[in-house]
Structure 1
Amino acid sequence: MEFTLWLGLVGAGAMISLTPGAGAINTMSNALSSGFRRSFWGILGQQLALVIHVIIVAAGVGLLVSSSPFLFALVRYVGAAYLVYLGIRKLLAKTEKDDAGDSPAAVESGFSMFRRGLWVNLLNPKAIVFFLAFMPQFIRPERPLMTQYVELTATVVVIDILVMWFIFAAGAKQLKHLTTSDRGQLILNRIFGILFICVGILLALI
């Protein structure tokens, strides 16, 4: 990939990652509930979903999904329902304390955060449609396709990791002091629960 084309890819990838969405909300929620470092597990799950999306589009399945009203609606409503489910869980979540009884305990496993991050991004049909419109601009048919897809995927994934971890997860650290009290935890759970539900509803309606 030519350097100028790659720079365009970097700019586009950054704009995509910086746009708030379910992945950003999930990352901030993880950072607040389990800590900045451990939130990386959820980010890794989201990146695996991005890789799968690229593979789906590259294999031509993405075109089938986007052109089939039934399949697109199925993925869309399942994804929306999953986000609403996460939101309801947040709203109903109880506050948790560590052994000393003073601060919230990070009890969720890394695999659980990884799995949730995977499904949050994977069940977003708009990502497939977006990559269908996005990828052809940076792929040159006369050149080896595999190399170009690897370069594109690696670039998008690295950018998304940096944005998710050092902007959204790091930004959530500014609210970490709220997790030291029951009231603060409840407020944050309700905020992120409502955000998950709102994104799910938007995904279903728009």
Structure 2
Amino acid sequence: MPELFTSLYQQFLSTTVLEWIATITGFLCVYLAARQNILNWPISIISVSIYAYLFYQNKLYGDAVLQIYFLSTAVYGWYYWQSADSSDTKPVQKLTKRHMLLTTVVILLLGTVLGALLRRFTDSDVPYIDGLCTSMSFVAQFLMTRKILQNWLIWVLVDIVYIPLYMHKDLVLTAILYVAFTIIAWNGYRAWRHTYKKERNQLA
């Protein structure tokens, strides 16, 4: 056990400046998203741009491509959250059980396809885990841009899976960040659920 903590401490000390910036901005954007603060999107642009480079360097190719997708959804989410009507924020929506089942099927199919592609065309040592995490993140991020409540439940699951994956890649600071992300995502779900119920009661 002491050797494990020594190893973690050494990895922590070797964390690059880029990973520190990506981690701090990543934490801020998720925290602000949970609070439905539109500033999460411009801060997200900084974080995902840096992580795209870091993940590519660590052969997490699915995650690297995912960051490019996050970059586009950050621009879209920034626009969507402040558009359409005279209010500053969009109401929280909720998927039906049927749509949740469909979403789960899409995640599994996409994750399998991505994993197979990563195994076939890259030197990744974790192709299917990388593919599944990429798939879950892809769907969760889209649901977040549309202010769908269940996006947070998907984030809770994928964040838990990411923790040992980043430890495996010696991205210790990022792994610690994802512990925080898991907690924030759960609290984000609770906060958005409260908002959803409040908005439904106002319409009743």
TM-score tier by shorter-chain length is 0.3 to 0.5
Q: TM-score, normalised by structure 1?
A: 0.33
Structure whose alpha-carbon radius of gyration is higher: 1
Q: TM-score, normalised by structure 2?
A: 0.33
